[in-house]
Amino acid sequence: TQLLEQSPQFLSIQEGENLTVYCNSSSVFSSLQWYRQEPGEGPVLLVTVVTGGEVKKLKRLTFQFGDARKDSSLHITAAQPGDTGLYLCAGRGYQKVTFGTGTKLQVIP
Amino acid sequence: DSGVTQTPKHLITATGQRVTLRCSPRSGDLSVYWYQQSLDQGLQFLIQYYNGEERAKGNILERFSAQQFPDLHSELNLSSLELGDSALYFCASSQLAGTGVSHTDTQYFGPGTRLTVL
C-alpha cells in the first residue's frame, strides 16, 4: 500500500512568516500534485510536478519534487491569512491516486 | 465554482440503510472520480469512470457501487450503511481521454456530500 505522510499535521503561524510542508513516501510516483482545500469545499489543484528535482513557483508558493520522486515539499513565503486551509499532496501512479494525510495551516493576521 | 455539482449537500440516515449520491461533471469532462474523506482516513480514492466504463478502482468497499450514465452524470450507491461510513464524499471530473489515471490530468472537485450515519 502506498502511503504519503505529510508533516506537520497542524501549523499555526503569524502573517508574514515562512513555512514548509513536507510530503514523504517510500514509494515512487510518476507525478505529485498539491491541492488546497477550504472548509466546506473540495480540494483545488495548485500544481503538478513530474520530473525528479523539479521546482515550480506559484507566486509565494514554491513546490519541489524530490530527485527520487518519492517526496515533495511546499514552501510558502510571507504567509497571508488567505493561505489558511488544508494542504494535500497526491501521488499519482498507474490507475491509482494516493492522497497525503494533510497539513492544516492557519495564518493569524 | 469548479463546475462539478453534487447532490445532496447533506444526508443523514440510519445504520443499515442505503443512499445514493449524485454527481454531474463539468461540461466536456468524460471522467468522474469518487473520493471519501474522513477525519481518521484522510482523502481516499474510491473509483473512477470514464465515458460510462469503470476505469480504475481504489479502496471501495463491496457495499458501495457506482455507475456513470450516458449523459455522464454519476451515482455512488452506499448500502448497509455503518457508523464508520460517515464522511464527506467528493466527486471530481477531468477531461482524461487516456487509460488509467493520467499523471498530468487536472481533476476538478465538487463541493461534496456530507453523509452522517446515526
Task: Report which of residues A36 and A94 the model is more confident about.
Answer: A36
Residues in chain B: 118
Do the chains contact at B43 and A88, CB–CB below 8 Å? yes
Q: What is the residue whose three cell numbers read 506559484?
A: A58
Task: Report which of residues A92 and A80 the model is more confident about.
Answer: A80
- Whether residue B17 is predicted with pLDDT greater than 80 in this model: the reply is yes
- Whether residue A41 is predicted with pLDDT greater than 60 in this model: the reply is yes
Which cell numbers in the block locate residue B16? 443499515
Which cell numbers in the block locate residue B69? 450514465
pLDDT tens per residue across span A54-88: 999 999 999 999 999 999 999 999 999 999 999 99
Is the link from the previous residue into A81 a cis peptide, with omega within 30 of 0? no
B74-78 and B64-68 strand pairing: antiparallel
Using CA atoms, how far apart are residues A20 and A17, in angstroms rounded to an integer?
Answer: 10
Q: Which residues of A touch B35 (CB under 8 A)?
A: 99
- Whether residue B2 is predicted with pLDDT greater than 90 in this model: the reply is no
Q: Does A40 touch chain B (CB under 8 A)?
A: yes
Q: What is the pLDDT of chain A when averaged over all its residues?
A: 92
Share of chain B above pLDDT 70, in %: 93
Eight-state DSSP code of residue A82: G
Give the pLDDT confidence score for residue A95 in this predicted structure: 65
The answer to whether A104 and A71 are in contact (CB under 8 A) is no
Q: Which residues of B touch A40 (CB under 8 A)?
A: 111-112
Do the chains contact at B2 and A95, CB–CB below 8 Å? no
Do the chains contact at B56 and A100, CB–CB below 8 Å? no
pLDDT tens per residue across span B48-69: 999 999 988 888 999 999 999 9
Using CA atoms, how far apart are residues B31 and B29, in angstroms rounded to an integer?
Answer: 6
pLDDT range class, residue B104, cuts 50, 70, 90: low
- Whether residue B41 is predicted with pLDDT greater than 80 in this model: the reply is no
- Whether residue B76 is predicted with pLDDT greater than 90 in this model: the reply is yes
> Average pLDDT of A11-33?
94
Contacts by residues B71-75 (CB-CB < 8 Å, ≥ 24 positions apart)? B72/B24, B72/B25, B72/B29, B72/B30, B72/B32, B73/B22, B73/B23, B73/B24, B73/B25, B73/B32, B74/B22, B74/B23, B74/B25, B74/B32, B74/B34, B74/B49, B75/B20, B75/B21, B75/B22, B75/B23
Q: Which residues of A touch B111 (CB under 8 A)?
A: 40-42
pLDDT range class, residue A2, cuts 50, 70, 90: low
3-class DSSP state of B92: strand
Give the pLDDT confidence score for residue A1 in this predicted structure: 55
